[in-house]
């Protein structure tokens, strides 16, 4: 199969940023995705309230093509109350995002897994919305990584996802009616956990975690040696990569394939420009998402019609069904033809820049 057409994908997790960055990255998102869940860890201000949601949506729509459909989110912080939550829902927010304090980009105002119980009243409110069949769902989206243990000691990148597992388990037990998505799973253990959960819980997988190995990103001391392949959770060992690939193509409706595109400017992503500062985590993956994912499905599944079907389900069906949203009616076409990914676009390094990919969006 050298050319095929599938239902247009949704993007259940991406970062469009603000200002000039948003203007540059939005056209890529616009072209490939129908609905786009926009994460709210923006700088200098997080998206936290109904008013923030309104303003951010207006900014996005001023730059996007008509028909682009952002799904808005708010960040869970110390300031989030049940009242703020309800206002944000009324303003159209459909995701509440939890990133533990200091775990990833712009999360310093977040709360840690250790403090999450304080926010249970807010989560009860989200659960109430999920249980009300007349209302559209609201998702509790969890970044499952723990950066410090209970004594405040730093946990190395590679162990952070597994370290969050007891908290994730507790959350699922405490909220049987809450729709929870554990994001960008990168370890076999976490994937097995999500497989064992009830139907109100799902997980997402990125192509990055399926193709980048830990050794390409970090040295033995755990320091980042290649910021261009640095995302969170950090790339893992081979057995975990295999688990991500196998699960992605398995046809299990609990798992959605996402780009988690997280653009940064060049000076935050190149060692010689960082001058001792820590590199930013996250890669600009929207432009290469469909070619990479298509390659994974067609290499893992030898029956090409089955590969096409599973690819369509994982990118455009499972998330929509979990959200109780209609499936997209538009389509996109992919063609097997080699191309070399440009190194950067408008000062933003593109993931896989300089490398040759086998598929492209027509
Ligand atoms: Zn993200």
Distance 39 CA to ligand 1 centre (A): 7
- How far does the centroid of ligand 1 lie from the alpha carbon of residue 203, in Å? 13
The pLDDT score that the predictor gives to residue 176 is 98
Taking the centre of ligand 1 as the mean of its atom positions, its distance from the CA of residue 168, in whole angstroms, is 17
Lowest-confidence region among 124-128, 149-153, 198-202 = 149-153
Distance 120 CA to ligand 1 centre (A): 23
| Burial class of 223 by CB neighbour count within 10 A (0 to 12, 13 to 18, 19+) | exposed
Query: pLDDT at position 171, please?
Result: 98
Peptide bond between residue 303 and the one before it cis (omega within 30 degrees of 0)? no
Please write the tens of the pLDDT for every residue from 217-261.
999 999 999 999 999 999 999 999 999 999 999 999 999 999 999
Q: How many angstroms does the Cα of residue 60 sit away from the middle of ligand 1?
A: 18
Distance 305 CA to ligand 1 centre (A): 31
CA of 281 to the centre of ligand 1 (A): 10
CA of 230 to the centre of ligand 1 (A): 13
DSSP-derived secondary structure letter, 172: H
**pLDDT of 128 higher than 80:** yes
* Whether pLDDT at 106 is above 80: no
DSSP state of 34: S
pLDDT confidence of residue 329? 94
Q: What is the predicted pLDDT for the residue at 274? A: 80
Distance separating alpha carbons of residues 281 and 262, to the nearest angstrom? 8
Q: How far is the CA of 260 from the centre of ligand 1 (A)?
A: 5
pLDDT in tens, 64-74: 988 889 999 99
For the stretch 267-272, contacts whose Cβ atoms lie closer than 8 Å and that sit 24 or more positions apart, written own/partner, are: 268/227, 269/227, 269/228, 269/230, 269/349, 270/227, 270/228, 270/349, 271/225, 271/226, 271/227
Q: Is 155 helix (H, G, I), strand (E, B) or coil?
A: coil
CA of 13 to the centre of ligand 1 (A): 6
pLDDT at 32 (0 to 100): 93
Query: What's the rounded Cα separation, in Å, for the pair 69 and 12?
Result: 12
The domains found in the chain, sorted by start residue, are 8-329 (3.20.20.140)
Dihedrals φ, ψ of 154, to 5°? Answer: -70, 135
23-49 mean pLDDT: 93
DSSP string, 35-103: EEEE----SSS---SHHHHHHHHHHHHHHSPTT-EEEEEEE--TT--HHHHHHHHHTTEEEEEEE-TTS
**233 CA → ligand 1 middle, Å:** 9
311 pLDDT higher than 90: yes
Q: What is the CA(123)–ligand 1 centre distance, in A?
A: 20
Q: Which tokens sit at 270?
A: 């190149």
What is the C-alpha to C-alpha distance for residues 96 and 254, in angstroms, rounded to an integer? 19
Q: Residue 48's pLDDT is what?
A: 96
pLDDT tens-place string over residues 166-215: 999 999 999 999 999 999 999 999 999 999 999 999 999 999 999 999 99
pLDDT of residue 86: 97
Average pLDDT score, the chain: 95
Distance 302 CA to ligand 1 centre (A): 31
Of 64, 89, 195, 104, nearest to 140 (Cα)? 89
Cα separation, 307 vs 179, whole angstroms: 28
Whole-model pTM over 0.85: yes
């Amino acid at each position: 199969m050298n050319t095929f057409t599938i239902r247009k994908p949704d993007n259940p997790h991406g970062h469009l940023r603000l200002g000039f960055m948003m203007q540059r990255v939005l056209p890529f998102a616009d072209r490939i995705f129908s609905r786009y869940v926009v994460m709210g860890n923006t700088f200098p201000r997080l998206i936290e309230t109904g008013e923030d949601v309104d303003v951010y949506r207006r900014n996005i729509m001023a730059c996007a093509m008509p028909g682009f459909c952002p799904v808005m989110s708010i960040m869970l912080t110390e300031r989030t109350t049940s009242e703020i939550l309800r206002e944000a829902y009324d303003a159209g927010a459909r995701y509440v995002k939890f990133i533990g304090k200091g775990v990833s980009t712009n999360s310093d105002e977040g709360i840690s897994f250790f403090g999450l119980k304080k926010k249970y009243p807010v989560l009860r409110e989200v659960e109430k919305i999920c249980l009300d069949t007349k209302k559209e769902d609201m998702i509790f989206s969890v970044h499952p990584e723990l950066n410090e243990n209970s004594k405040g000691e730093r946990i190395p990148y590679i162990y952070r996802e597994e370290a969050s597992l007891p908290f994730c388990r507790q959350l699922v037990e405490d909220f049987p009616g809450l729709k929870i998505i554990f994001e960008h799973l990168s370890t076999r253990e976490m994937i097995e956990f999500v497989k064992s959960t009830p139907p109100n819980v799902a997980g997402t997988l990125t192509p990055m975690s399926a193709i980048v190995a830990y050794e390409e990103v970090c040295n033995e001391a755990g320091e980042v040696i290649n910021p261009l392949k640095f995302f969170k959770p950090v790339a893992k060992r081979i057995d975990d990569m295999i688990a991500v690939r196998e699960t992605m193509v398995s046809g299990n409706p609990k798992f959605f394939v996402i780009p988690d595109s997280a653009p940064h400017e060049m000076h935050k992503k190149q060692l010689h420009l960082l001058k001792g500062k820590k590199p930013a985590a996250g890669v600009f993956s929207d432009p290469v998402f469909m070619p990479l994912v298509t390659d994974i499905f067609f290499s893992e599944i030898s029956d090409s019609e089955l590969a096409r079907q599973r690819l369509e389900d994982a990118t455009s069906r499972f998330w929509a069904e979990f959200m109780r949203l209609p499936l997209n009616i538009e389509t996109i076409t992919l063609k097997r033809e080699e191309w070399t990914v440009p190194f950067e676009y408008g000062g933003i390094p593109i993931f896989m820049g300089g490398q040759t990919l086998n598929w492209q969006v027509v």
